[in-house]
Amino acid sequence: MYVKEAGRNVKTVELDKSGNVILIDQRALPKFRTVKMKTFRETAEAIRDMTVCGAGAIGVTAAFAMAQAHMENVPLEEAKRYIDSTRPTARNLFHATEKLLNSSDPVADARKYAQEEEEACKAIGEHGAKLIQDGFRIGTHCNAGWLAFVDWGSALAPIFVAKRQDKRVTVFVDETRPWLQGTRMTSWELQQEEIKHFIIADNAAGYYMWKKELDMFIVGADRIAANGDAANKIGTYEKAVLAKENGIPFYVAAPLSTIDINTPSGESIQIEERAETELTRFEGHRIAAEGVRARNPVFDITPARYITGIITPKGIVKPENIKTL
């Protein structure tokens, strides 16, 4: 994708010729900057501290961290344990480290993995764009654009392809607290692509559904269980329930690396909880009274019965058919 601030095509994560992992610093957006991770541990910590977000981007970053470990002569079993400890929910991370664990050429295979994930996301866009009619108003939650992958993205890929097909679309972007991925990332990406959009409060999506101002909803996923249940950013479940109540199609877009057939249902997915301070503080300032406690789950589970279809690189399938892919 084209980044105006950089004046060039920039991928979310890259492995340079010297073995450094170059990342777009997602914590800084909408201010654009890249950061360089020189060791596999630095790269792993970039996953932990959310320098890089999004299931696909986390997966590819994990693959590159494994390649760095190989170049540093660190046993890949040791590297995998360290990398796997950074984030527990996104399937893509574990998919990547499993793929690289027994590689005879981790550097080449990591680059191949990144390329395959990028191609998968482009295919998601091509399949998903068929669902989008000219003039559609589309809701989304969190960031599942190219920042969340290597390029193209999952939930935003159909929108990007539809734009290239000269379809007019308007996107309603949930702000996505507490990290504001929608406000800071999704909106920024849509601006780069010159796609009409509005940022809305997280709790406003139901209002716009009720007013018949949304034609469909597309979100990404961090892990999809064998029965079609999907883990995604906290707040996704309530959007899916409201979409069903209002008769609005609700789609999940994801590459095959997000699907975990060894997890029977959403009840078996480990949900990450992060620090209370992400809710009690804002930009370094405490906004909750001293002594007040907080709970901060990062993801929730959307049961398969609320999902109209899952947009994959191989086509659009019903959640109950996810195991056939």
Residue 75 CB neighbour total at 10 angstroms: 10
Is CATH 1.20.120.420 the classification given to domain 2-120?
yes
Q: Can you give the pLDDT at residue 3?
A: 65
pLDDT band at 5 (very low <50, low <70, confident <90, very high): low
pLDDT band at 119 (very low <50, low <70, confident <90, very high): very high
Give me the residue spans of the domains in the chain.
Answer: 2-120, 123-324
Residue range 256-261: mean pLDDT, rounded? 96
The string of pLDDT tens digits covering residues 14-33 is 999 999 999 999 999 999 99
Residue range 131-160: mean pLDDT, rounded? 95
Residue with tokens 């990342």: 23
Q: Can you give the pLDDT at residue 2?
A: 58
Choosing from 109, 151, 174, 222, which is the catalytic residue? 222
Residues 6+ apart with CB under 8 A from 211: none
State yes or no: is 222 an active-site residue: yes
* Two tokens, residue 69: 């470990």
Whether the per-residue pLDDT at 8 is higher than 80: the answer is no
How high does pLDDT run on average in the chain? 95
Would you tell me which CATH number, out of the four given (1.10.10.10, 3.40.50.10470, 3.50.50.60, 1.10.3720.10), belongs to the domain 123-324? 3.40.50.10470
Q: Can you give the pLDDT at residue 275?
A: 94
Whether the per-residue pLDDT at 149 is higher than 80: the answer is yes
Residue range 279-283: mean pLDDT, rounded? 93
Contact by Cβ (8 Å): 314, 256? yes
Q: Can you give the pLDDT at residue 283?
A: 87
Residue range 203-230: mean pLDDT, rounded? 97
Whole-number Å distance between alpha carbons of 177 and 181: 7
Q: Can you give the pLDDT at residue 325?
A: 87
Whole-number Å distance between alpha carbons of 180 and 294: 18
Whole-number Å distance between alpha carbons of 49 and 275: 11
pTM of the model: 0.94
Whole-number Å distance between alpha carbons of 157 and 190: 11
